[in-house]
Each structure stands twice: as structure tokens, then as C-alpha cells.
Amino acid sequence: MPRQYLTLIAIAVATSASAECYIRSNTLTSTKDVIERRADVQNTVVPLPSGQFRCTATFRTQIQGHWHTAEGQAIHANQAQACAQALNSGTVKILTEVGGSSLTTQEEMVCTDQSLPKTRTVKVGEVVRESEVNPDLQWPQPIRMADGYTYRRFVEPGERGQLIRGVIRQLNKTDWQVVDKW
């Protein structure tokens, strides 16, 4: 009898060991200042031996009528996502430096054997999940239009490091359709 329990435990451990794990992080920054304008964004992308990309975003921001130089850095498997995270990181840094802020960070490791959607290149007309495209930070909030649909802009990497922009519209709770790309 004990041998059967040990076998079941060994099978359960082996099954859970095949699960894919990732770290989910959530950062909330509270500040009284806002970025009035962002300009001169320059992304420098370096491919890493691991297959990931390190992006350094350097840009100018206008806060309380004054211009400040900001820089952020991030590493990600997707080049556009690395640059989006680097821009966000630089934004948080400059807001903290200029006006002070409170920062709350929460991280947790999540393991699952479900196949999770990954960001990818999409085609016009294709139905995708929202998490399969990278949000466009210049239009971060979804917009409800007169036709009754909710729209959101996205970006994906293009040739020579340029970003391709696009629009998706929400069909139901989980599905979005690619409407346009430019």
C-alpha cells in the first residue's frame, strides 16, 4: 500500500514539473505629476545570446512645463514588448525623480500546463486574444465608438526596428478582430 502512494506522488510531481512557469508582476505608481508631453523617443535594441532583446528607451518628457530627459531599460523575448516596457520604466523613473511618488510592486510566480497565448504578428481580419498583441502606449485605453464596438490600438515590430501600428475591435469577452494595420 505505501508503495502505491509513493508512485502516485512521484507521478504528481513529474506532471507538475512539466508546467510552464512565469513571473507575473504588477507595479502601481502614485504621483501628483503627469507627463504633459513625450518627444524624441529613441529605442536602442540589443539582441542577447538567450534570444531575448534588451531595449533602452531614451526620450524627453515635459512635466510642469519643463523638459526632462528620461531613460528606461527592459529585457523581453519580444522586441516591441521590451521597448514598451523600457518606455514605461523610464516614465516611472522620471516621474519619481521630478515629483516624487509612492511605488507598490507585487510579484508572483505562476505555473500552468495550459498553453498560454504569446504576442505575435497578426493579419487584418484575424480573430485574436487581446494578449496576443502589444498595446500601443500612445493610445493605451480602449475607446468605445458610435458603432458599438470597443477599439484598441496595438504595435508590432516591423522592418529595420520600426513599429507597425494596428487596430483591433472587441467581438466578445475574449475575442478581438484585427481591423487595420499601417
DSSP letter string, the chain: -HHHHHHHHHHHHHHHHTSEEEEEEEEEEE-S----EEEEEEEEEEE-TTS-EEEEEEEEEEETTEEEEEEEEEEESSHHHHHHHHHHHHHHHHHHHHH--EEEEEEEEEEE-SPPP------TT-EE-GGGSEE-TTS-S-EE-TTS-EEEEEEEE-GGGPEEEEEEEE-SSS-EEEEEE-
- pLDDT reading at 65 higher than 50: yes
pLDDT of residue 58: 95
Please state, for a pLDDT cut of 90, what percent of the chain lies above it: 33
Would the pTM of this model clear 0.85, i.e. be above it?
A: no
Mean pLDDT, range 45-63, rounded to an integer: 91
pLDDT for res 15:
46
Domain coordinates in residue numbering, the chain = 119-182
**Band (153; pLDDT cuts 50, 70, 90):** very high
pLDDT higher than threshold 60 for residue 76: yes
In the predicted model, what is the mean pLDDT of residues 1-30? 56
